[in-house]
Amino acid sequence: MPDTARSRAATLPHLRRGRLAKGDPIPLPLTMAAIFHAPGDATGFDQYGRFSNPTWDAVEHMLAHLEGAPCVTFPSGMAAISAVFFGLLKAGDRILLPSDGYHTTRALAERFLKPFGVAYDLRPTSTFLDGGFDGYRLAFVETPANPGLDLCDIAAVAEAVHKAGAILAVDNTTMTPFGQRPLDLGADIVVAADTKAPNGHSDVLFGHVASRNADIIAAVSGWRETSGSIPGPFEAWLVHRGLETLEVRFDRMCASAEVIARRLKDHQAVSGLRFPGLESDPSHNLACAQMERFGFLISFVLASEDKAEDFINNCALMQAATSFGGVHTSAERRAKRGDAVPLGFVRLSVGCEPVEELWQAIEASLDGVSG
Ligand SMILES: Cc1ncc(COP(=O)(O)O)c(C=O)c1O
């Protein structure tokens, strides 16, 4: 079978098959254990819950299958990003971050990297290539960036970053490995919050780091084991279960987002619409070149803070919530999180509801704030 998103989706639910003995349960058993039977020589088996756990192994096997690279899991997306920074950087290093990506990544750099002697600069995602990468140890991008949905060209950035002797990490949270595979485009590291679409049910925080570079995997694994930033086995088990349906959920969410974005474009209450799948979007050509799908996030602006709040709160098929990627459609007015966006800016995460019913609810709520 050729290695494609479809073939990966087809084989994903059968990954455990080759390891099963007669009578083993087919669903993944949950191993809740801090200690393991450990007589004699201490090498080559599970010994202690901070070093390894069979439930982590299973979810990492799935994620590795999807990313095409070894994966290390963490208790949240931020824990995965922290592992990359604290596992790989040292005092005197300088890194480059997106100015318009997830705000907590910038906060991590400001509050914790800077006092340890790691400097950082910010650059907009859409012009990330401008200015080059000389002097940086690591460049970090998010594409599409949360919440503005600008893109950058991962392959071009990877090439320029490597020429400058640096490494490139991509936060792929908004796309998942079914929407975009940054390692195939030349990135050295993928980080992601599996809290979002991979788990998909909004009941777990989780994250992972993937890389084809063994030294990078060793560094983030070492960080996890030593710092104790370990995922809980139950959370790993839930994410394993979520991943089994990721492809079908992601497919529905992306298809619905395309329908809804086209209709939002024609609604009089909506301005500043961003969705990479729209031909009119400034990132559309790049999206076609580097993404398998256009994602399930849409952003747009309503006339005021109140109108945006009313639109979200009065829509019968929408949860007012931060985060995204769940089975429920949800939305948030991002200015309240401190993002540099207009007061009426809405980030919409399209869920798994049937699209016509979802659109009717969105349209009714938009009509209520029109004029
Ligand atoms: C793009 C992006 N990266 C990382 C994170 C952090 O994930 P977590 O909340 O699981 O720590 C988020 C959370 O919203 C995010 O949107």
Regarding whether 285 and 238 lie in a shared domain, the answer is: no
The minimum-distance atom of ligand 1 relative to the CA of 80 is: 11
Instruction: Assess contact for 46 and 36: CB atoms under 8 A.
Output: yes
Regarding whether 290 and 208 lie in a shared domain, the answer is: no
Regarding whether 268 and 144 lie in a shared domain, the answer is: no
CB burial string 26-57: b at 16+ within 10 A, e below: eebebbeeeeeeeeeeeeeebeebeeebebbe
CATH number of the domain where residue 289 is located: 3.90.1150.10
Question: In which band, very low, low, confident or very high, does the pLDDT at 264 lie, cut at 50, 70 and 90?
Answer: very high
23-80 pLDDT, tens digit per residue, is 999 999 999 999 999 998 888 888 999 999 999 999 999 999 999 999 999 999 999 9
Q: How far is the CA of 60 from the centre of ligand 1 (A)?
A: 19
Regarding whether 26 and 142 lie in a shared domain, the answer is: yes
The minimum-distance atom of ligand 1 relative to the CA of 101 is: 1
Residue for token digits 């299973």? 58
How far, in Å, CA of 316 to CA of 248, rounded?
24
How far, in Å, CA of 236 to CA of 29, rounded?
11
Q: How far is the CA of 102 from the centre of ligand 1 (A)?
A: 7
Q: How far is the CA of 325 from the centre of ligand 1 (A)?
A: 11
The minimum-distance atom of ligand 1 relative to the CA of 206 is: 10
Report yes or no on whether pTM surpasses 0.95: yes
Number of domains, the chain: 2
From 183, 216, 243, give the residue that closes a domain.
Answer: 243
Regarding whether 207 and 273 lie in a shared domain, the answer is: no
Phi and psi at 173, nearest 5°, equal: -55, -40
Amino acid code (one letter) for 273: L
Q: Is the CB of 207 under 6 A from ligand 1?
A: yes
CATH number of the domain where residue 236 is located: 3.40.640.10
Regarding whether 262 and 197 lie in a shared domain, the answer is: no
Q: Is the CB of 171 under 6 A from ligand 1?
A: yes
Regarding whether 205 and 258 lie in a shared domain, the answer is: no
The minimum-distance atom of ligand 1 relative to the CA of 323 is: 14
The minimum-distance atom of ligand 1 relative to the CA of 142 is: 1
Ligand 1 pocket test target in 173, 180, 190, 204 with most atoms within 8 Å of CB: 173
Q: For the purposes of burial, counting CB atoms within 10 Å of the CB of 338, is it exposed (0-12), middle (13-18) or buried (19 or more)?
A: exposed
How far, in Å, CA of 29 to CA of 26, rounded?
8
Q: Which two tokens stand for residue 177?
A: 């490995």
- Dihedral (C-alpha) 229, 234, 235, 241: value to the nearest 10 degrees? 140
**Averaged pLDDT, 109-133:** 98
Regarding whether 108 and 92 lie in a shared domain, the answer is: yes
Q: Is the CB of 76 under 6 A from ligand 1?
A: yes
182-197 pLDDT, tens digit per residue, is 999 999 999 999 999 9
Whether residue 276 has pLDDT greater than 90 = yes
Helix (H, G, I), strand (E, B) or coil at 35: strand
How far, in Å, CA of 207 to CA of 105, rounded?
14
207-229 pLDDT, tens digit per residue, is 999 999 999 999 999 999 999 99
With CA atoms as reference, report the closest residue to 5 among 246, 206, 191: 246
139-190 pLDDT, tens digit per residue, is 999 999 999 999 999 999 999 999 999 999 999 999 999 999 999 999 999 9
Bridge partners of residue 150, in order along the sequence: none
Question: How many of the other CB atoms lie within 10 Å of CB of 208?
Answer: 29
How far, in Å, CA of 170 to CA of 187, rounded?
7
Calculate the alpha carbon distances from 146 to 107, 135, 205, 304 in Å. Answer: 15, 26, 17, 21
Question: How many of the other CB atoms lie within 10 Å of CB of 129?
Answer: 15
Regarding whether 178 and 126 lie in a shared domain, the answer is: yes
Regarding whether 238 and 113 lie in a shared domain, the answer is: yes
With CA atoms as reference, report the closest residue to 60 among 210, 184, 205: 210
Q: Which two tokens stand for residue 154?
A: 């991962």
Q: Is the CB of 143 under 6 A from ligand 1?
A: no
Q: What is the pLDDT of residue 95?
A: 98
Regarding whether 231 and 254 lie in a shared domain, the answer is: no
The minimum-distance atom of ligand 1 relative to the CA of 205 is: 10
Q: Give, using CA atoms, the residue closest to atom 9 of ligand 1.
A: 77
Q: How far is the CA of 75 from the centre of ligand 1 (A)?
A: 11
From 198, 225, 243, give the residue that closes a domain.
Answer: 243
Q: How far is the CA of 19 from the centre of ligand 1 (A)?
A: 33
From 219, 243, 267, give the residue that closes a domain.
Answer: 243
Whether residue 332 has pLDDT greater than 90 = yes
Q: For the purposes of burial, counting CB atoms within 10 Å of the CB of 156, is it exposed (0-12), middle (13-18) or buried (19 or more)?
A: middle
Q: Which two tokens stand for residue 66?
A: 């999807």
Regarding whether 260 and 141 lie in a shared domain, the answer is: no
User: How, if at all, do strands 119-123 and 138-142 pair?
Assistant: unpaired
Structural domain boundaries, residue 334: 247-369
Percent of the chain with pLDDT over 70: 100
Q: Which two tokens stand for residue 161?
A: 């970053």
Q: Which two tokens stand for residue 63?
A: 């994620």
**Averaged pLDDT, 311-315:** 98
